Amino acid sequence: MFATPAFAQTAAGAPAGGDMILQFLPLIGLAVLFYFLMIRPQQKRAKQHQQMIAALKRGDQVMLNDGILGKVVRVEDKEVGLEVATGVTVKVMKHMIGEVRARGEPAPANDSKT
């Protein structure tokens, strides 16, 4: 019912390999464009965030992803002690730190306060 002579005739004239590449060229171009506009900048931001997290030290003023501001009082492997008010310290996962607003004194992390 749907098989017409036109379908049978087009099967014999199938496109050559060069025509096949030309058909996929726009899709390949879109994939390259997607990589340079979306994936590569995201990887660059993630790398910068990892460097920022690795450089944290006691005394840094930081802002968390949810907008809470605080001062780093203790740095551990995966967690940070954050003073959000005088005498109020909370433990925060390092990856939740959104930005470092001000660098603190050049003291090593985890040393005792004097």
Show the tokens assigned to 43.
């990887």
Contact at 8 Å (CB) between 76 and 82? no
Number of H helices, E strands in the chain: 3, 5
For the chain, percent of residues with pLDDT exceeding 90: 68
In this predicted model, what pLDDT tens digit does every residue of 78-106 receive, in sequence order?
999 999 999 999 999 999 999 999 876 65
The predicted pLDDT at position 10 comes to 52
Task: Report the alpha-carbon distance of residue 99 to residue 70 in Å, rounded.
Answer: 11
Show the tokens assigned to 26.
């726009």
The predicted pLDDT at position 21 comes to 85
Please, which pLDDT band fits residue 18 given cuts at 50, 70 and 90?
Answer: confident
Q: What CATH fold (topology level) applies to the domain 57-102?
A: SH3 type barrels. (2.30.30)
Task: Report the alpha-carbon distance of residue 112 to residue 89 in Å, rounded.
Answer: 15
Q: Which of 78, 83, 108 is nearest to 96 (CA)?
A: 78
Domain spans of the chain, in order of start: 5-51, 57-102
The predicted pLDDT at position 2 comes to 64
Model-level pTM? 0.66
Q: What is the number of other CB atoms lying within 10 angstroms of the CB of residue 82?
A: 22
